[in-house]
Structure 1
Amino acid sequence: MRNPEARAPRADASRNRKQLLDAATRVFASSEALPSLREVAREAGVGIATLYRHFPTREDLVAAIYSDQVERLTGGARDLLAEVPPSEALRRWMDLFGGWVASKSGMLDTLLAMIESGDIAHAQTHSELVGAIEDILRAGESVGDLRGDVAAEDIAASLIGIFSVAPIPEHASRAGRLLDILLNGIRPRL
């Protein structure tokens, strides 16, 4: 006899979950204050009961958004490396990272509390993101368009600094200039 918990979710349930994650990401990113879960459900085009069926608490929703975004960000590094040269992949990935940071505004307090309580493994996320940067740096070193003496941890720290002084979207042009300066410093010296 099959275990009912082992069944794959129905197609409509998977679609609803994805709609909720996408809508919640947009709502949280565009909100300066903590948005209501009803607003998230409305944006997703589903009822509040559907939201609660997938995410019983606000913390469950925030954790799912966070996990989904980290997965997209690390997967984005691989996708970019398959499409463009490593230095261009790194620059585009920096923009993805900036968008990821910017999307946290409406959920920052909840997210920080969850990290502090251990509900979200911040160290694992940091490791995954640094790993994505390392993959790009290694690829760049192998083709000669990125220096081999740059640590991924230093790139991560630089990105956090840049997006702290030039948060997106209000300072996108300044952030872009700073990211270009950072990338130029990572390219091999001529």
Structure 2
Amino acid sequence: MDESKASEASGAGDTGLADLPARPLRADARRNRDRLVAAAASAFGTEGVDTSLEAIARSAGVGIGTLYRHFPTREALIEVVYCREVEALVAAAEDLSCTQPADEALAQWMQRFVDYIAAKRGMGESLKILFVSKSPLFAEKSGLIPLALKGLVDRAVAAGAIRADADSGDVLHALSSVYAAASGPDWRERSRRLVRLLMDGLRYGAPARP
């Protein structure tokens, strides 16, 4: 990542413009922005953060000028993609808790965590820059995933669906290990197998169900 881009990203909040109320986007502009974020999330997850911005714009069905109007730097786009991934994972925890038995909600959410990690791996170096720059949006979102997982684990423990000594911090530590696993064409499937084994371990020794 070139230093001028890192400096631009880290200094973005120094102009005072961040304190002004954001002007609402028109419906068509909102759709374009959403398509760009979705296309970037897919590209970063499969090809990495250095994927061509022109290719992202083409995939979203817009011109490169439209991309830069919404995201003046690559880091600005990466930050929004990261926040989108976090929000989707947190929303999934809520949805699964309402629709699935406690252990199934946890199991399915942990599989979705693999997809989140895939996107995060693709954005790795740029996420480090955002962390160092103390981006307020990045800081705001970073604590949401542990809270979402804690809710799922606590619910499964209370239901007797997983072992009583399960700790959400330990589970998150185990889940996060897939981030550092060696890359390869089978990375995602190996990670999913690991998560299934982790879930089997959580179910082992759970109180008998009525």
- Aligned residue for 1:77? 93
How far apart in 1 are the matches of 2:116 and 2:185? 11
1:159 paired to 2:179: no
Q: Return the letter of the residue paired with 1:10.
A: R
Change (3 A) 1:9 1:127: same
Give the Cα–Cα distance (whole angstroms) in 2 for the partners of residues 75 and 33 of structure 1: 24
1:18 equivalent in alignment to 2:50: no
Contact 2:150 2:168 in 1 (8 A): yes
Identify the residue that residue 58 of structure 1 maps to in structure 2: 74
Report what 1:108 is aligned to.
Answer: 124
State the distance in 1 between where 2:147 and 2:164 align: 15
Equivalent position to 1:127, from 143, 162, 184:
143
Tell me which residue corresponds to 1:181: 197
Question: Contact 1:24–1:65 at 8 Å: present in 2 too?
Answer: yes
Which segments of 5 or more consecutive residues in structure 1 lack a partner in the other structure?
none
Misfit runs of 4+, over 3 Å: 5-8, 120-126, 166-169
Aligned to 1:90: 106
Letter paired with 1:68: R
| 1:36 paired residue among 45, 52, 55 | 52
SS in 1 for 2:166: coil
CA shift for structure 1 position 119: 2.2
Equivalent pair of 2:79/2:138 in contact (CA under 8 Å) = no
Asked if structure 1 preserves the Cα contact closer than 8 Å seen for 2:49 and 2:126, the reply is no
- Superposed displacement of residue 105, structure 1: 3.9
TM-score (norm 2): 0.79
Indicate the residue corresponding to 2:5 in structure 1.
none
What residue is the counterpart of 1:46 in the other structure?
Answer: 62
Distance change in 2, residues 1:177/1:77 (3 Å): same
CA distance 1:81–1:11, change in 2 (3 Å): same
Distance 1:141-1:64 versus aligned 2 partners, 3 A rule: same
Q: CA deviation at 1:127?
A: 2.1
> Which sections of structure 2, spanning at least 5 residues, go unmatched?
1-20
Q: Residue type matched to 2:161 in 1?
A: D
- Give 1:138's match in structure 2, choosing from 154, 165, 181: 154
CA distance in 2, matches of 1:169, 1:98: 14
Q: Secondary structure at the match of 1:104?
A: helix
Deviation at 1:33, TM superposition (A): 6.1
Of 56-65 and 168-177, the range deviating more from structure 2 = 168-177
The number of residues matched between the two structures is 187
With over 3 angstroms needed to count, the CA separation of the structure-2 counterparts of 1:100 and 1:133, relative to structure 1, is same
Question: Is contact 1:99-1:168 (8 Å) kept?
Answer: no
